[in-house]
Structures are given as C-alpha cells and as structure tokens.
Chains A and B, each alone.
Chain A
Amino acid sequence: MLEIKNLHAKVEGEDIEILKGVNLKVNAGEIHAIMGPNGSGKSTLSKVVSGHPEYEVTEGEILFNGEDITELDADERAHLGLFLAFQYPVEVPGITNKTLLREAYNTIARANDREELDPIEFEDYITEKLDVIEMKDEFLSRSINTGFSGGEKKKNEIFQMAVLNPVLSFLDETDSGLDIDALKVVSDGVNKIANDKNAIVMITHYQRLLNYIKPDYVHVMMAGKLIKSGGFELAEELEANGYDALEKELVLNGEAQ
C-alpha cells in the first residue's frame, strides 16, 4: 500500500535535512508504530507523507498503491485515502465540525466518482460515527476544535478519521496529553476503525499507547532514519532501556552513524 524509499526531506528554504533516507513499507491490514526521541523526525515524516507545503523532498519517493505521490498536494493525497491525525489539531472558530466534514467527505467522494451525501443523509451518517469516540450530537455543531480540551481535540481527530474512512492513517502523537480515560476512548476508536483493508501508522514517544493499540511492527527512528524494526518486543525493550541504550548498541554494531 505505502512504500517509502530512501526519503530525504528538509524545511523549504533551509539547508538542514530532517529526513535522511527513510525506508518503510506498509501493507493493508497492518498497524505500525514509529517510536523515537524528540527531534528524531517522526512528526516530519508524517507531515511529509501527507503533503505539508513547508517541507521539500530532496531525494527518494513515496509510493501509494504504486503511484508516486511525492509531488501531490495535501488534498490530492487525502482524495487517494491518506489521513493525518494532527499532534496539535488546529482551531477554526466559525466553522462547525459538521460543515468541514461534509465538505471534506463530498470532495473526496467527487474525486473518487462516488456518490455525494446530501445534508440529511450526511447527518445520519456522521451521527452514527459519533459512537466511535463516545461523543454527543452537540459535538457536531461546535466550531472545529475551538475551546476543546486536549482530549476532545484528539477525539475529534479520530472522529474525523472515522467519518472520512481513509485507507492509510498517520496518527501523530495521538496519545500525548491524554489522561487514561481519554486514551482508552481514543484507542477503542482506532481499534474500531482498523480493518484488513486499511492501515495505520502510529507515531509516539511512549509505549503506553501500544498497550491499547497493538502494532504488528515497531520501528525506531533516530536522526532522520528508521534505524531498527521489529515486533512489539522492540517497544518493550525501549520502554525498559530507553533510547540511549539502543543508540549505544547500534554504534557498537557499527549500524548507526
């Protein structure tokens, strides 16, 4: 589904490379976790894959279902089924959740020659999706993320994911700032959405999210590269020994630079 090959990227107009040759392959039905210390390039990877204009790809490519999407705009990538749950969801006073989601849903439907939903059909459709994150109806008519608590913002990201039904989702530190109750709701939501046709890449600093959403693969990112991949046991190892231990081990083996 997703194949990232030797991806290098930097902030547009600056010289410092943030991604220094990322390789990643994600298949349908898989859940991946990318872990790493602050500043390792995790968030940048999710932004580059979803088409943030602030970043420039200097080398490598991003293939989505075989198509090179490196040059596509963010909305075109969304039309293909990519989704990014933001670490810091943006507040948009004046535009309701419902308005945004109907516009988004129908734009994606149009781009894929699927039928659009009229306001009444859409109302039924999203009301149903509220169950995914255990929110009430009023959530729909509130301005996007405006005055939301940290937990509500993260729930809203997962709610949008449920409504737009993407093929591949990047969850950027969706667990950060969540108390245990909110973390459970958000994780349950993600688990309800996950199926054998879609895929999820979670980006996180901590293992605790992975206790609720079990990844098939865990990758460690450091200094702009995925330096080690494995199963769930890799996350446990990191939790026990920290990133420093891993870094040392890799240096000893001559694998890290």
Chain B
Amino acid sequence: MSEVIQRDTMLSYITGSVESSAESVAIRAINERGREDLENTPFPTRKDEDWRFVDLKSITKSQFCKLEEANAADVGDISDHYLPEAMNCRLVFVNGVYSEELSSVEDLPNNVIVGNLAANADNNSVKEHLGTITNYDDDVFAPFNDAAFTDGAFIYVPEETVVRTPIHILNVFTDAEKAFYATPRLLYVGEMFSKSTIIEEHIGLADNQYLNVPVTEFKMFTGSNVHHARIQRDSKKASHISRPIAILDKNAEYHSYTICLGAKLFRNDPRVIQNAEEVNFTVDGLVLIDGDQIADTHSIMDHRFAHAGSHQLHKVVVNDNAHSVFNGKIFVAKDAQKIDSFQENRNLLLSENGKVNTKPQLEIFADDVLCSHGATIGQLQDEEVFYLQSRGLTEQKSRELLVYAFALESVESMEVESVEKLLLNEVIEYTNRDEK
C-alpha cells in the first residue's frame, strides 16, 4: 500500500557522471566505494536532525559540473596569498587540481614528504591510511569526495621529526562560466613524536558559484603533535562542505582552529577521535558572517579512552541576515574515565535579523569525568560603545574595536604571524562593512 518515495541523492545536483579517472588503484578503489555510498544515501533535507536549521538551497537549486566543463579562468598571479613564513613549503591547488608550478617545497627535514597524493600513491602510508580515517555515517558529502577525488595533498612527518616551517596548503578557486565542483583532499600522517604546523586555506579569487567539498584526514601516531589552522575565504556565492577528521594515538596532540569568513553556505563537521589513552585536542572556531551567509558547525569530540584533555571555543559574529548554527557533541564512552573536556560557544549578534542556533550536546557514559559547556548569545552593549566613544573614538571605531576584541582570542591561536595579521585585517574589514 505504501508508496516508496525516491529521494534525491547528491548525484541529482551533479551534471554528468562521477567516473574515476584516477591512475592509482588505491584511489580508484576509494572512488568506487564512494560512488556506492552515494547511490545508497539520500540527500539531506530539513527533516534530518543534523540539517534542520540549514537551508541547502544554494546546492539544490543548482547543478554543478566537472571542472573541465566549467570553462574556468586562469589563475593569474596569486603570490599575494603566499605566506612569507612558508615560502618554500607550499602546495597550491587551483580549483582542486594540483599545480606543480605554483607549489614550492624545499628545505624540509630528511624524509618529510609534502607533495601531491597522485605522485605518492605508492607510498606505504598513503596505501595504508588514505580513506580509512573518514567516518561519516549517512553522509553524502564525504562519499562524494571519496567518489570524485583523483589527487590531493599528502603530508608525511617521520618519527622524532619536527617541521619548523609552517606547511601551507593553498586551495584557490577561479572564476568560471559554469558552477563547478571541487573535492580537495588532504592526508596527514604524523609518525611517533613528530610535530608540525599546517595552514590549510581555501580562497575564492572571484565572485562565482562553486561547490567545494574538502576531506582532510589526520592520522596521529603516539606522541605526535599538530597545529592545524583552516581558513575558509571562499567566494560569497560558493558552498563549502568540509569533513575534517583526526584520529589520535596515545599522547598525541591535535589542535585545530577553523576560521570561517567566506562562502554562502559553510558546513563544517570536524571530528576528533581518541584511539588510545592520554591525548589532548582542540576544536576551536571563529565565524564572521554577514549578508545572507550561513555557517553551520557540527563537531564531534569523541572520547573513547581514559585521560583526555579536550577544549572547544567556538566564537561567532553575525551581521545582517546571516545565520550561524553550532552543534557541539562531546561523547565520553563508558570506560573513558578522567576526561577533562570543556566547550564554549560565544555568539555576538550585530543585527536584528541575524540568527543563531546553538546546541551543546554531551553524551557521557563514564562517571569520573569533568565535562562542562556553555553557550552565550549577546549584542554589543550600548554602554561599551558609549564608554569608548566618550574617550574620543568614533562610534564606528568603537564598534570595530569591540568586535576585534571579541575575535582576537581566536586569531591569536594561529601561531603564524602573517596569518594573524591577515585575519586581523579581515576582522577590521568585516566590521567596516557594517557601516556601508
């Protein structure tokens, strides 16, 4: 009697087929798995709990083609986007395609690999870990990346090795006649007691529509340490759906900081999975949005073993009609005792029409843990503005300073000076847009 309703899949919004053109057998196998998952998983709607606040129109009202069919513009000179600290430690991807010409990797410690996945497909670590860390049930976006990627970035840091130069993974997107999709991929393997800093950037060079679906996988062996900054400055018409995941062995430390400035629709699902006792991790975020932007973070901090310290500070500034969603899950498994986990979501609403949904979600099955969370939504206080104004600062400057102060804490976590400067300029530009 009942009628089976055929729901759309991710492929409904993609023109043509997602056929693998990867040379590597390992990558083709992941592509195949991704396609199967895609065909069997319906595209999310607002009826799905994880998507109930998000309007996915910017994807569902469009069709996205392969890059080859989009007639994309040349990249031109992008040297302004290079980080002075990482001049010889940079991988560049243009619309998701590796550019050997723009990349520059020199002077790395012995046996460190910073290169593209396709060229390293036979590397044992790639074969062993690529595609094994992502773990998103009922998801269509990670499988879409699985199905479509043919290349990506690969970083390998051997045992007891410290890479002092920050490693810059620069994804740029150019103007194009048609809306296209891109599936950037990053695999990081940190061997025992290795250490590095990764700056992963996504920059839209023009004002065009595209769909950016990156997957990043971090395999952190015993005692390894990573500082992972992710800066999203996609075009204001782009959709960016991110799947960054890290898995931590004993004594590993993974600290991630996601900065969201661009994209019409940003959805970020960071996950950190504890794979042994005694780990430390951070899942921080800073969101600055205005206009009709939507930024949605659904994070999972998954404590499966005893003795973890984890921390999440998610800061959001919303202006105009922009909309922020935060769903921060903290899981603590039954035997995962002595967990010290702290989550804080602070929202600053600058306009009457801006919207914030926040939902801390703690699921704790152990009894000897210290887990806390807090969420606040506030406005700039008139009294604060007046205080600064009474000292001679213009109202605009006073507001700018207060938003700047709010964002500062997150920016200071970057650890790379040029990135901090760049972000502070972005903050100032953001507050100035307020006055136009």
- Minimal Cβ-Cβ distance residue in A for B412: A94
Contact of B382 among A54, A94, A103 (CB under 8 A): A54
CA–CA, A14 and B160, complex, Å: 69
On whether the beta carbons of A74 and B405 are closer than 8 Å, the reply is no
Give residues 352-391 of B contacting A (CB, 8 Å). Answer: 381-384, 386-391
Residues of A within 8 A of B177 (CB): none
CA–CA, A105 and B391, complex, Å: 8
On whether the beta carbons of B382 and A53 are closer than 8 Å, the reply is yes
Residues 178-197 of B, flagged 1 when their CB comes within 8 A of A and 0 if not, give 00000000000000000000
Range, interface on chain B: 20 to 34
Say yes or no: is A92 at the interface (Cβ < 8 Å to chain B).
yes
On whether the beta carbons of B384 and A90 are closer than 8 Å, the reply is yes
Range, interface on chain A: 20 to 34
On whether the beta carbons of B405 and A164 are closer than 8 Å, the reply is no
Say yes or no: is A6 at the interface (Cβ < 8 Å to chain B).
no
On whether the beta carbons of A107 and B393 are closer than 8 Å, the reply is yes
Residues of B within 8 A of A74 (CB): 386, 389-390
CA–CA, A78 and B389, complex, Å: 8
On whether the beta carbons of B405 and A79 are closer than 8 Å, the reply is no
Give residues 33-91 of A contacting B (CB, 8 Å). Answer: 50-54, 73-75, 77-79, 83-84, 86, 89-90
Residues of A within 8 A of B405 (CB): 92-95, 143
On whether the beta carbons of B408 and A107 are closer than 8 Å, the reply is no
CA–CA, A143 and B408, complex, Å: 12
Say yes or no: is B432 at the interface (Cβ < 8 Å to chain A).
no
A100 touching B388 in the complex, CB below 8 Å, given contacts A75-B394, A107-B393: yes
CA–CA, A77 and B392, complex, Å: 8
Residues of B within 8 A of A94 (CB): 404-406, 408-409
B346 to chain A, nearest CB (A): 11
27 A-B contacts (beta carbon < 8 Å) = A51-B389, A51-B390, A53-B386, A54-B386, A74-B386, A74-B390, A78-B389, A83-B390, A86-B390, A90-B381, A90-B383, A90-B384, A92-B388, A92-B401, A92-B405, A94-B406, A94-B408, A95-B402, A95-B404, A99-B401, A100-B393, A100-B401, A104-B392, A107-B392, A107-B394, A108-B392, A164-B391
* Shortest beta-carbon contacts, A-B, top 3: A94-B405, A78-B392, A90-B387
A contacts, CB < 8 Å to B: 50-54, 73-75, 77-79, 83-84, 86, 89-90, 92-95, 99-101, 103-105, 107-108, 111, 143, 160, 164
